[in-house]
């Protein structure tokens, strides 16, 4: 759904961390996922902006939990790193097993795991979990499968995912064009883009290259997942606590029902990763 008028998100964005303006931080991280080594480039210190808007995907039953009361289960939250160091299960086996148990495509899982490990390096006190990204990715675009789209081998959507125009119609925020239609194809009003559904202004401020190809593409799940992780971690949040987790997810979309849906998917994903 588009940003709701009764719960506008503009102005609710967290303050960015205090680091050098517009610098690039290159984080070399060995991620044993699919047998590859990923060089992760993260742009730092964006200005705050409006947040993402979700588009209708499949229905998810909200979790019966109060805002701030708890964070979802975080079991099995070190996928690729854990698999590569314990020797008990390869990363590829982990991806395939959890994909089968959770209905999260293995390619999306790889992106969420990579973003988890990246944020452990650039924001270690944030405690971002891949399960939180999985919850958001499920509600925003059904893990990149909204409207018949699929994730290609390189993580890019086979067809662009673009949300409804934010034109001020019933129940929708009015946000006029900020990118001349370069990301969303709409020169009149902004639309949320990509599997994690970023508004153009938010993407411009937080865009991150999650796969080391030298560019940040909102239609690429690797880039979008790292960007979402950085956005959620901004302002020194600790997403491992109930208060921090809920503050992060509500900054993404200021809706209690949205947060409860993300909670339900995140907890289900965590349990699927351990077979519980």
Determine the Cα angle at 173 with ends 168 and 175, to 5°: 85
Token look-up 């975080």 returns: 74
Q: How do residues 134-163 score in pLDDT, each as one tens digit?
A: 999 999 999 999 999 999 999 999 999 999
> Nearest to residue 217, comparing CAs of 67, 111, 88, 135?
111
In this predicted structure, what is the pLDDT of residue 7? 31
In this predicted structure, what is the pLDDT of residue 54? 55
Q: Which residues pair with 27 in a beta bridge?
A: 40
- pLDDT at residue 71 tops 90: no
Q: How do residues 99-121 score in pLDDT, each as one tens digit?
A: 888 889 999 999 999 999 999 99
Cβ pair 31, 116 in contact under 8 A: no
Q: Three-state SS for 33?
A: strand
In this predicted structure, what is the pLDDT of residue 1? 32
More confident site: 171 or 254: 254
Average pLDDT, integer, range 52-72? 75
**Position 57 confidence tier, pLDDT thresholds 50, 70, 90:** low
**Position 53 confidence tier, pLDDT thresholds 50, 70, 90:** low
Token look-up 């759904």 returns: 1
Token look-up 């519980």 returns: 276
In this predicted structure, what is the pLDDT of residue 21? 24
Dihedral angle of Cα 77, 227, 195, 275, to the nearest 10 degrees:
0
- Enumerate residues 6+ apart whose C-beta is below 8 A from 85: none
- Whole-Å CA distances, 99 to 37, 54, 133, 142, 196: 21, 22, 15, 13, 18
- pLDDT at residue 85 tops 50: no
Q: How do residues 181-206 score in pLDDT, each as one tens digit?
A: 989 899 999 999 999 999 999 999 99
Structure tokens at 101: 């148990």
In this predicted structure, what is the pLDDT of residue 48? 40
In this predicted structure, what is the pLDDT of residue 15? 35
> Nearest to residue 121, comparing CAs of 228, 203, 233?
233
- pLDDT at residue 3 tops 90: no
More confident site: 6 or 232: 232
- pLDDT at residue 5 tops 90: no
**Position 44 confidence tier, pLDDT thresholds 50, 70, 90:** very low
Query: HEC profile for 134-147?
Result: HHHHHHHHCCCCHH
Residue percentage of the chain with pLDDT more than 70? 73
Number of alpha carbons in the 13 Å side-chain half-sphere of residue 261: 20
Q: Per-domain residue ranges for the chain?
A: 71-76+93-156+196-274
């Amino acid at each position: 759904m588009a940003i709701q008028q009764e719960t506008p998100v503009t102005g609710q964005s967290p303050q960015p961390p205090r680091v050098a303006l517009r610098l690039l931080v290159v984080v070399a991280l060995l991620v044993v996922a699919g047998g590859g080594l990923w060089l992760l480039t993260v742009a730092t210190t964006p200005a705050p902006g409006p947040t993402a808007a979700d588009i209708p995907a499949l229905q998810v039953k909200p979790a019966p939990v109060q805002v701030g009361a708890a964070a979802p289960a975080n079991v099995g939250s070190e996928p690729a790193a854990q698999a590569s160091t314990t020797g008990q299960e390869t990363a590829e086996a982990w991806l395939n097993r959890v994909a089968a148990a959770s209905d999260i495509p293995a390619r999306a899982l790889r992106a969420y795991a990579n973003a988890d490990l990246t944020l452990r390096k650039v924001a270690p006190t944030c405690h971002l979990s891949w399960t939180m990204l999985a919850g958001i990715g499920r509600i925003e675009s059904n893990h990149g499968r909204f409207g018949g789209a699929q994730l290609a081998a390189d993580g890019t959507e086979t067809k662009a995912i673009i949300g409804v125009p934010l034109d001020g119609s019933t129940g929708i925020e009015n946000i006029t064009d900020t990118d001349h239609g370069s990301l969303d194809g709409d020169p009149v009003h902004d639309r949320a883009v990509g599997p994690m559904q970023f508004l153009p202004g938010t993407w411009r401020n937080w865009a991150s290259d999650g796969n080391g190809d030298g560019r940040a593409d909102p239609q690429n799940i690797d880039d979008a997942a790292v960007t979402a992780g950085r956005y959620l971690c901004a302002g020194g949040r600790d997403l491992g606590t109930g208060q921090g987790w809920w503050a992060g997810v509500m900054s993404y979309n200021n809706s209690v029902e949205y947060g409860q849906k993300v909670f339900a998917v995140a907890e289900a994903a965590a349990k699927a990763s351990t077979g519980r």
